[in-house]
Amino acid sequence: MEKPKLQIFNSMSKQKEDFKPIEEGKVGMYVCGVTPYDFSHIGHARAYVAFDVLHRYLKYLGYEVKYVRNFTDIDDKIIKRANEKGEDPLSLSKRFSEEFLYDMAELNCLSPTHEPRVSDHIDQIKDMITKILENGHAYTIEGDVYFSVDTYPDYYCLSGRKSDDNRAGGGGRVLVDTRKHNPADFALWKAAKLGEPSWESPWGPGRPGWHIECSAMSAHHLGDYFDIHGGGKDLMFPHHENEIAQSRSACPQSKVNFWMHNGFVNRDNQKMSKSDNNFFTIRDIITIYHPLALRFFLLRTHYRSDVNYSDKALDTASDRVFYMYQTLHECEIALSPFRSEIFKGQVPADVKEQIEKFHTEYLSSMSDDLHTTTALDDLVDLLKSINGTLKKFKGKKQQQPLILSLLALEKEVKDFLDSLGLLSLSTVSEVLQQLKDKALKRAGFTEEEVQQKIEERNLARKNKEYEKSDLIREELYLKGISLMDEPKGTIWRPSEPPEKKLEKHVDTLIDKPIS
């Protein structure tokens, strides 16, 4: 089957463009990483799940991907937090870098090819600043080095802003320096201050400015000309605008073919952010929801659109993930006796046609700027087909066509989930148990307490106390636990409860590494 041409929305041109790599069969991709001074929040999950999907899909299309995602491990915020805690800044940033990597693994994100840290690339940063100075695009003041915006005519080429729109201070991370030639000029190198980490340089001891770090690290690992640069849309200005200005001022041939930006996560119609203190950390959420539920929730919205956070949406996502894995679990049980057999027959024509149609639509959706929402919607039909085939499977003597159908459907579903990072490294049954454990935690019950409720309900039904029986069932439902009466007895599964507040269920997180 011929794969459709991948189209990506380019933030530079403000339109979708056919993706064509610089080097045939290979892709170089840089995504701005975290400033690790605290636990990462759901906005970080939004960005790195989005670009993990891109990473996975490029690999699925057969590209060899060199994916670089950095750590800004020295920064004003890190220094401030370290001083508050009486800790070395690099020690603190290293600790929270490890916490971030833990969260990414929990969210089933593939590891990038390289994860450079600013503190390991000081020489590359100093070399780039030297080139910018030599080319006349920067100036020094008492040990500080500033980029001169007035010397770069193409400034604002990415954001489309005008000079009147620019906020002095280069994005609010620092106070305005009245010594600057233009309030829009931004720091490439900051002179050392008492108690701050510093490195020797031609301009005196100091440390890098924020923006120069990514320019230097992307050039070092991917070269001056590479395929894709990504990050949250809040980085478009000033960070990415400044990166472009710096990189081209150091090397006029510098270029990125595609700039990609993901949307925000909103809460109460406001962007979640640490500075506004209206955010949840990834750790908050995966304490009570399965990480795959969080990933599914994020993929339900196109990566360029803003995600509207709500507990109800996470409950729905958790329920959908449980349904997917329950379907696969029942399929595995049905196929278990036949796994060792070799079937020479053909998959029934109607099932084969359904799978081919799904696969074609999947490729079409994903190649159209990664429309994960449409792809997930289309999956429902395959899951329904598995469940329908399982019903036919029971009691049938001529089972071979049904077995072949189930094997083909199962493979397609698992391949699809894997391509979106929704296929866990744990077994299907382990994921189901994990989902149930999270549901119990949200409900405030133990497994033993739920079983006790089931026994109380069974006794009430036996004694024809149907009102009491219904009350027990309703009580559990309101907590997100559904009872299902089956021939072998009553079982329970997670369900979507009425909307609630996450804060009531979040455990207090201790500011220390995971052991």
pLDDT of 59-97, one tens digit each? 999 999 999 999 999 999 999 999 999 999 999 999 999
Give residue 270's pLDDT band: very low, low, confident or very high (50, 70, 90).
confident
DSSP 373-392: HHHHHHHHHHHHHHHHHHHH
Task: Say if residues 318 and 289 touch (Cβ distance below 8 Å).
Answer: yes
CA-to-CA separations, 366 to 106, 107, 331, in angstroms, rounded: 24, 20, 27
45-59, 168-182, 277-291: least confident range: 168-182
33-42, 331-340, 346-355, 494-503: least confident range: 494-503
Of residues 342 and 110, more confidence is placed in 110
Give residue 171's pLDDT band: very low, low, confident or very high (50, 70, 90).
very low
Coil/strand/helix, residue 496: coil
Give residue 504's pLDDT band: very low, low, confident or very high (50, 70, 90).
very low
Task: Say if residues 69 and 48 touch (Cβ distance below 8 Å).
Answer: yes
Cβ neighbourhood burial of 232 (10 Å; 0-12, 13-18, 19+): buried
In the chain the domains, ranked by start, together with CATH numbers, are 22-288 (3.40.50.620), 320-428 (1.10.730), 445-504 (no CATH)
Instruction: Report how far residue 406's alpha carbon sits from residue 393's, in angstroms, rounded to the nearest whole number.
Output: 9
Task: Say if residues 231 and 32 touch (Cβ distance below 8 Å).
Answer: yes
Q: pLDDT at residue 6 above 80? A: yes
* Angle at CA of residue 307, ends 512 and 99, nearest 5°: 15
Q: pLDDT at residue 360 above 90? A: yes
For residue 264, give the nearest of 24, 43, 14, 509 by alpha carbon: 43
pTM of the model: 0.93
The pLDDT value given to residue 440: 98
Q: pLDDT at residue 425 above 90? A: yes
DSSP 279-346: --BHHHHHHHS-HHHHHHHHHTS-TTSPEE--HHHHHHHHHHHHHHHHHHHHHHHHHGGGTTS---SP
The pLDDT value given to residue 166: 55
**Percent of the residues in the chain that have a pLDDT greater than 90, as a whole number:** 84
Q: Return the structure tokens found at 474.
A: 């309703």
Give residue 344's pLDDT band: very low, low, confident or very high (50, 70, 90).
confident
13-17, 20-24, 168-172: least confident range: 168-172
Instruction: Report how far residue 345's alpha carbon sits from residue 350's, in angstroms, rounded to the nearest whole number.
Output: 14
H-run or E-run covering 221:
helix 210-222
